Each structure stands twice: as structure tokens, then as C-alpha cells.
Amino acid sequence: MKDLRSLRYFLDIEVASSSRDYLLSQQKYIADILERATLSDPFIATTSLSTPMEMNLKLQHDDGDPLSQPTRYRELVGVLVYLSATCPDIAYAVHILSQFVSSLTSIHYAALIRVPRYLCNTIT
């Protein structure tokens, strides 16, 4: 076995170590999600929210207009599913939004974009 020096980044988790303890963080992963989400949505970076999903939101499969590029929605839901394992505050919203990956509409996308806007507040 080979010593590869100290661990810094593994499975999208940053590891900072001292002589007494370790600090695990997904700050870089969240920053990558925000960068991915804001490629064509500059509004996300400037506004942040205090909840990942609107209260009492009822989403239906036939709400709104169908999306022309469903791949972006699916990719963003995928990275948020992985993040929800360590950020339980977004788990419910991601669970609800992942139910619509087969029939995407503009209403679903607007609800999805709310999660990265929420993550702007909780990145640290």
C-alpha cells in the first residue's frame, strides 16, 4: 500500500484535518451546483431564500408548459439527490421534485431552481 499524503477531497466531500480532529464539508460541491445552475439563470446568484420549497406547494404532472430541455432538470435533480444525503434540510424538496423527471414543465423547473437559491444561504 502506498501513502498518498493527507486526504483533502473525496466523493465530493472536502476534508480538513488538524492534529486533533477532522472537518467534513460539501461547500465546494454546493458551489459547483450553484455554478451549474446559474449557467443561464443569473437571477439565482443574486437572490437567496430561507426555505428550499414554497410552503403548501402542490405540484401536478400536467402543470405549466413542457420543458424544451429536460436534461438540465434531470442533471440538477441528480446532483441534489446526492447532496440531500448530507443536507437533510433539502431532502423533502428534492424528493418531491424528483417525482417529475419524466414529465417536466416550467412550473417544476421554477420549483427546482428554488433549491439552489436556498443553498446560497446555507453554503457554509
pTM of the predicted structure, to 2 decimals: 0.78
How far CA 53 is from CA of 56, 115, 117, in Å, comes to 9, 7, 10
CB 33 within 8 A of CB 44: no
Which residue in the block uniquely carries the three cell numbers 400536467? 62
The per-residue pLDDT string of the chain (124 residues; one tens digit each, 9 = 90 and over) reads 676 677 787 888 888 888 888 888 888 888 888 887 774 455 555 666 888 888 888 888 888 888 888 888 899 999 999 998 888 999 999 999 999 888 888 889 889 988 988 888 888 7
